[in-house]
Every structure is written in C-alpha cells, then in structure tokens.
C-alpha cells in the first residue's frame, strides 16, 4: 500500500460502502436450493468466484473482467 493517499483510501472506502447497497437489491433468480431469491451482492460475488476458478480455461484473461463488468452494468 505504499504511496496510497488518504484521498485514494477515502474513495476506496466510499466504493465499498456503495457496493454494500447491492445486498438490498433482489434478483428474479433463486438460489440453487430454491429457498429464496438471491441479491445482487451474492450474484456478483458468485460471478467473481467463478471467474477466478475458471480463469485457466479462458482464451484471454481480459474477457473474464469484461464479462464481470458487463454483468455489473446490467444489474
């Protein structure tokens, strides 16, 4: 974290607080066990974990990040 300014840290914290709001946005899809609808935070976390786990099978790593970004734009 060398060179990280207080301003940069503040912006990062603001971002983390903002994405915490995704917990309150519910999606149409349900969990695998069909017990309830998932929220955007769960969906985004699952997508990020899948991208990490399956990254060895991607032709180009940049496509993984693009798909995550595209999913975020549609939620």
| Separation of alpha carbons 51 and 61, rounded Å | 9
pLDDT given for residue 38 in this prediction: 93
pLDDT given for residue 47 in this prediction: 85
pTM of the model: 0.60
**In the chain, domain spans:** 6-74
pLDDT given for residue 66 in this prediction: 66
Mean pLDDT per block of 10 residues along the chain (75 residues) reads 76 93 93 93 88 82 63 55
């Amino acid at each position: 974290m060398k060179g990280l300014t207080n301003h940069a840290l503040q912006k990062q914290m603001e971002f983390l607080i903002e994405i915490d709001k995704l917990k309150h946005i519910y999606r149409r899809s349900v969990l695998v066990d069909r017990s309830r609808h998932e929220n955007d935070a769960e969906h985004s976390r699952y997508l990020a974990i899948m991208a990490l786990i399956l990254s060895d099978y991607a032709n180009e790593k940049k496509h993984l990040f693009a798909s995550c970004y595209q999913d975020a734009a549609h939620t």
